[in-house]
Chains A and B, each alone.
Chain A
């Protein structure tokens, strides 16, 4: 094993210029990144007896309740697809977003000891937290597959769009996660804000209903919520031709995701230098 692969042979640290190695380091520390994700996944499913079951049960039960309340009681339109499919196809990305946001925002605090004892690009922590949520996300896909068979919905070529859309959901989670993780180090009361944000977001995002019921004149601005674009995309990919994507809105969501991500990375990088001093 060639040791030079791990750290540069020559390292220069200068006041205010540490970041020169940053992006190269991020690549060099990829193994640590894999190990941390692996550790968190292992621990997550070791600790809870019903680990995997829990990942499946939570979105499923929420879906049942939502289908009943919005579909049966409120009789909201379902764009011609079974209401449970409408809800569950939105539940997938939403659940992923919510749990990554929660995990990522706590990732720095819960690894505070590591932060103050060892060097590594701090970006590794929130990113691996999001990866862990990705596992739950894939498990939920199995449920979706079963539901699609049950309702006799056959996937179209649209399904391929799930690959970039999952990527988009990932980026949206990272964007919000980075912001809140860095803020959380500085302001500990963010731990109260995150659960509220997640709960609030569930109702503000088109999870229990189709975004087509949003009034036409508001629809564009509704997409300022980056998850609107992601959820609409998921429905379109899963339910096939019945739904349509509102492109201006989708473009806006896309823009918001990338703007948040870029600013999130910027803010995180800025705060990162002092994490070890503050935490």
Chain B
């Protein structure tokens, strides 16, 4: 028995992207499409100008891929390495956090470790009983009662029936759902649902536990309880825990090591402090100067108007990767109109890193809509940062002509918001996704000797 729990060597996962890849496209195809593409393929060779606009992301080993590959001109496919040449070792009993930006390969890595999908290259060796928790409540069925779902979910997570039975009371007590055990879970509140799901998961006793961002669900109190449960397990029972989180506070609190992923490759392995700083700096680096929007991915192609570039600046008008809290963030947007826009509006929106849409505003909220001739334009706006938390947000901006689509870009990472002497503990315990500064009055004593005399 070695002291290594997980050993990963040269791990890689490659997806084939066919045609022009866009985000959010379906992965499967219809038989009709395949047949018609097979039938038209010979003709396409004759007319090289013809391009199939449909885009699909295909896995590398599908048989259709190979059947398509002998029709070279019909589909331009491109390799996309979600994960490349990843190697690391994790000793037994360590709690390791995986951090990185969206698309850095965190989820792919967890999927490979949990055997949901196969690696394209490399090798993984794991020692001990493994459980992976990429989602709470996988396999829960709304029609079944709480009791039935505990057994079902336990089986799905790999707990033998006898083990579930012996821990049943403990699970029920942990979830605090005793009274609703025989109620179908479709009648549960979302809080109860999550608590029940998590209670089952928290009672798993694997040697290696792989967790995706699941702690972000549930209320703060319950989250704390779960973290406590997991922490004690790893300390007392020598359990190895590997988990992904965007919550840097949790990572700091729990992990002895972090793995920082960047564009599918390992950029740092080691102590959490250095890793988290590396992650924050990486965010700052990529926030460089003006963002070129001309080739930026869009949900839908621009039409008659195009967003050209965007700058995030501090109050002094200096392009800045980090902007202090309570100041104003200045945004400069350049765009081009290819035709006359009679009633141009410029909407903007801010999304929290967890995906919640925070607010949206438009140029027309303040001024009349614009009647503009074709040409290049520039617009400035200012966002008061005192309404923001010290977290990550995304920016969206668009061009519309009386509701008709011109251009729209979502998901632009906003500069990091920092506060020189913020209490990090306090910051991580704030609720919600924004701050609304409230006016406090100073505390007054209401004890008897302070009361106005005439009472």
Residue numbers of A with Cβ under 8 A of B are 1, 3-7, 9-16, 18, 31-32, 34-36, 38-39, 42-43, 46-47, 113-120, 185-190, 270-271, 273-274, 276-279
Query: Mask for B136-175, Cβ within 8 A of A = 1, else 0?
Result: 0011010110001001100111111111001000000000
| Further 8 A-B residue pairs, CB within 8 A, beyond A117-B135, A187-B28, A271-B63 | A3-B206, A4-B129, A10-B126, A11-B127, A14-B122, A31-B160, A38-B152, A119-B116
Bound state CA distance, A115 and B114, in angstroms? 12
**In the assembled complex, B120 has its CB within 8 A of some CB on chain A:** yes
CB B306 to nearest CB in A, in angstroms, measures 34
- Find chain A residues with CB under 8 A from B166 CB: 1
B158: nearest chain-A partner, CB-CB: A6
Cross-chain contact of A5 among B61, B119, B160 (Cβ < 8 A): B160
CB B204 to nearest CB in A, in angstroms, measures 10
CB A214 to nearest CB in B, in angstroms, measures 31
Bound state CA distance, A187 and B64, in angstroms? 11
Bound state CA distance, A120 and B114, in angstroms? 10
- Find chain B residues with CB under 8 A from A279 CB: 27-28
Q: Are B148 and A187 in contact (CB under 8 A)?
A: no
Q: Are A273 and B61 in contact (CB under 8 A)?
A: yes
Bound state CA distance, A231 and B155, in angstroms? 37
Q: Are B143 and A47 in contact (CB under 8 A)?
A: yes
CB B54 to nearest CB in A, in angstroms, measures 14
For chain B, give the interface size range: 35 or more
Segment 51-80 of B: residues with Cβ below 8 Å from A:
58-59, 61-64
Whether A31 touches B155, Cβ cut-off 8 Å, given contacts A16-B118, A117-B135, is yes
Whether A278 touches B28, Cβ cut-off 8 Å, given contacts A35-B152, A35-B156, is yes
Bound state CA distance, A5 and B162, in angstroms? 12
Cross-chain contact of B138 among A31, A113, A186, A190 (Cβ < 8 A): A113
B162: nearest chain-A partner, CB-CB: A1
Cross-chain contact of B30 among A12, A38, A117, A189 (Cβ < 8 A): A189
Bound state CA distance, A155 and B148, in angstroms? 40
- Find chain B residues with CB under 8 A from A116 CB: 116
Give the residue among B29, B118, B124, B127 with the most A Cβ atoms within 10 A: B118
- Find chain A residues with CB under 8 A from B18 CB: none
- Find chain A residues with CB under 8 A from B130 CB: 7, 11
Q: Are B123 and A14 in contact (CB under 8 A)?
A: yes
**In the assembled complex, B441 has its CB within 8 A of some CB on chain A:** no
**In the assembled complex, B32 has its CB within 8 A of some CB on chain A:** yes
Q: Are A9 and B118 in contact (CB under 8 A)?
A: no
Bound state CA distance, A188 and B30, in angstroms? 5
Segment 344-374 of B: residues with Cβ below 8 Å from A:
none
Q: Are B119 and A13 in contact (CB under 8 A)?
A: yes
- Find chain B residues with CB under 8 A from A120 CB: 156
Give the residue among B12, B112, B120, B160 with the most A Cβ atoms within 10 A: B160
- Find chain B residues with CB under 8 A from A271 CB: 62-63
- Find chain A residues with CB under 8 A from B127 CB: 9-11
**In the assembled complex, B46 has its CB within 8 A of some CB on chain A:** no
Cross-chain contact of B116 among A4, A6, A10, A118 (Cβ < 8 A): A118
Q: Are A11 and B125 in contact (CB under 8 A)?
A: yes
A183: nearest chain-B partner, CB-CB: B31
Bound state CA distance, A1 and B161, in angstroms? 10
Cross-chain contact of B161 among A18, A31, A115 (Cβ < 8 A): A31
Bound state CA distance, A16 and B12, in angstroms? 12
Cross-chain contact of B61 among A186, A188, A274 (Cβ < 8 A): A274
Bound state CA distance, A34 and B152, in angstroms? 10
- Find chain B residues with CB under 8 A from A186 CB: 28-29, 62, 64
Segment 104-118 of B: residues with Cβ below 8 Å from A:
111-112, 114-118
Instruction: List 11 A-B residue pairs with CB atoms under 8 Å apart, sorted by A's residue number.
Output: A13-B124, A15-B12, A39-B139, A46-B144, A115-B116, A117-B134, A117-B135, A187-B31, A189-B32, A190-B31, A279-B27
- Find chain A residues with CB under 8 A from B151 CB: 35
- Find chain A residues with CB under 8 A from B123 CB: 12-15
- Find chain A residues with CB under 8 A from B205 CB: 3
Q: Are A9 and B128 in contact (CB under 8 A)?
A: yes
Give the residue among B132, B156, B159 with the most A Cβ atoms within 10 A: B156
**In the assembled complex, B382 has its CB within 8 A of some CB on chain A:** no
- Find chain A residues with CB under 8 A from B62 CB: 186, 271, 274, 278
Q: Are B138 and A3 in contact (CB under 8 A)?
A: no
A118: nearest chain-B partner, CB-CB: B138
Cross-chain contact of A276 among B111, B148, B152 (Cβ < 8 A): B111
Whether A42 touches B28, Cβ cut-off 8 Å, given contacts A7-B129, A35-B151, A276-B116, is no
CB B11 to nearest CB in A, in angstroms, measures 9
Q: Are A15 and B118 in contact (CB under 8 A)?
A: yes
- Find chain A residues with CB under 8 A from B162 CB: 1
Bound state CA distance, A18 and B158, in angstroms? 19
- Find chain A residues with CB under 8 A from B30 CB: 187-189
- Find chain A residues with CB under 8 A from B158 CB: 6-7, 32
Q: Are B116 and A11 in contact (CB under 8 A)?
A: no
Q: Are B155 and A277 in contact (CB under 8 A)?
A: no
**In the assembled complex, B34 has its CB within 8 A of some CB on chain A:** yes
